[in-house]
Amino acid sequence: MISYKTLGLVNTREMFAKAVKGGYAIPAFNFNNMEQLQAIVMAAVETKSPVILQVSKGARDYANQTLLRYMAEGAVGYAKELGCEKPEIVLHLDHGDSFETCKSCIDMGFSSVMIDGSHLPYEENVALTKKVVEYAHQFDVTVEGELGVLAGVEDEVSAAESHYTKPEEVVDFVTKTGCDSLAISIGTSHGAYKFTPEQCTVDPETGRLLPPPLAFDVLAAIEEQLPGFPIVLHGSSSVPQDDVDTINKYGGKLVAAVGIPEEQLRKASKSAVCKINIDSDSRLAMTAAVRKTLAEKPGEFDPRKYLGPARESMKQLYMHKIVNVLGSNDKL
Ligand code: G3H
Ligand code: 13P
Ligand code: ZN
């Protein structure tokens, strides 16, 4: 058993309490490799922001959970080396799919886990989440539960359509499970194709697709039921058109990719939404930079020469999210 506390990591409890009170959201960025992690840490230090490092099942399969854990430990030292005296870094399991996965992460030094029972019948979700909470809280590890199903793919969990969280269920769920935060469904979804063209309208000036608004009425009803309780939004990438255009210009083929407009995320950040998950935007920034460099310098074969610009591009993206969208800058 390795306690995250000995690794210099923190859990989400105090971080979320401050964010809800202060009307901002903590960035939860997924990472799978060194360049992403470096970019996240550099951005968090430069903007003086707390940050959540997220590890998905896909990341664990790709990069190995032990390596990722040591990388997160290294992130604390790296942040200090960059000049941050007291970094606030959470190592979080994204979309934990079973008690065993959550336990394994808790035992190896994660400071926060998500147990995603959103696809289960309600009572089974309650029982599974409660079991994870009971284990996690013995070690002061915080737990995110989920109610409501996002459209698209939640890791390996597939849902054909979005089922918004039912505000009438949230008090019962939080009380019975003891979870520390709750992921909800109000119209976001994972990936770079969050809406079909049929769900969108076309901007007459730019010809670009404009997605339908998030269900802020559902969010307000949830907040009314759970005043001040930390709420989480998954699937919150905005799919920047510039990156999509760059990818397509240099040989990619991303057709009709649409994300959540940043002004809606800005609005959500000011509410009880205190954790916003972003993965796809980082993938787009990285891919755009790699494609551009390789297209412009066809003779280049040193990975540092194309991963370096990709890292810088991701850093700029993370800083932009922190400062201009979530508002978590200058909080350390
Ligand atoms: O919620 C999903 C995240 O974007 C992680 O995706 O399983 O492909 O790493 P992944
Ligand atoms: P995006 O695909 O919108 O980046 O969402 C990421 C996410 O929710 C990770 O859990
Ligand atoms: Zn997610």
The yes-or-no verdict on residue 157 having pLDDT over 50 is no
The yes-or-no verdict on residue 155 having pLDDT over 60 is no
Mean pLDDT over all residues of the chain? 95
- Write out pLDDT tens, residues 114-136: 999 999 999 999 999 999 999 99
Q: Element (H or E) spanning 241, and its range?
A: helix 241-249
Is the pTM for the entire model greater than 0.95? yes
Helices (H) and strands (E) in the chain, counts: 12, 12
- Write out pLDDT tens, residues 236-268: 999 999 999 999 999 999 999 999 999 999 999
* Ligand 2 atom nearest to CA at 192: 2
* Ligand 2 atom nearest to CA at 259: 3
pLDDT, residue 162, reads 63
Nearest ligand (C-alpha, residue 146): 3
| 86 dihedral zone (left: phi>0; alpha: psi -120 to 50; beta) | beta
Ligand 1 site, residue 191, Cβ cutoff 6 A: no
Q: Element (H or E) spanning 66, and its range?
A: helix 65-81
Please tell me the total number of residues recorded for the chain in this structure. 332
pLDDT, residue 158, reads 43
- Write out pLDDT tens, residues 47-82: 999 999 999 999 999 999 899 999 999 999 999 999
| Catalytic machinery residues | 94
pLDDT, residue 252, reads 98
- Write out pLDDT tens, residues 266-325: 999 999 999 999 999 999 999 999 999 999 999 999 999 999 999 999 999 999 999 999
Contact between 47 and 330 (Cβ < 8 Å): yes
pLDDT, residue 109, reads 97
Strand extents, DSSP E, the chain: 26-30, 51-55, 89-96, 112-115, 142-147, 152-154, 157-159, 181-184, 201-202, 209-210, 231-233, 273-278
Cβ-Cβ contacts under 8 Å for 126 (sequence gap 6 or more): 117, 172, 173, 176, 177
C-alpha dihedral sign at 220, 209, 198, 276: negative
208 vs 86: which has the higher pLDDT: 86
Mutate to test the pocket of ligand 1, among 279, 280, 281, 282 (most ligand atoms within 8 A of CB): 279
Query: Mean pLDDT, to the nearest integer, of 80-97?
Result: 98
The yes-or-no verdict on residue 197 having pLDDT over 50 is yes
Mutate to test the pocket of ligand 1, among 52, 57, 114, 158 (most ligand atoms within 8 A of CB): 57
pLDDT, residue 236, reads 98
- Nearest protein Cα to ligand 1, atom 9: 58
The yes-or-no verdict on residue 156 having pLDDT over 60 is no
pLDDT, residue 314, reads 99
pLDDT, residue 322, reads 99
pLDDT, residue 206, reads 86
Can you tell me the distance from the alpha carbon of 270 to that of 267, in angstroms, rounded to the nearest whole number? 5
Residues with Cβ within 6 A of ligand 2? Answer: 30, 94-95, 190-191, 234-237, 277-281
Q: What domains does the chain contain, in order, with CATH numbers?
A: 4-326 (3.20.20.70)
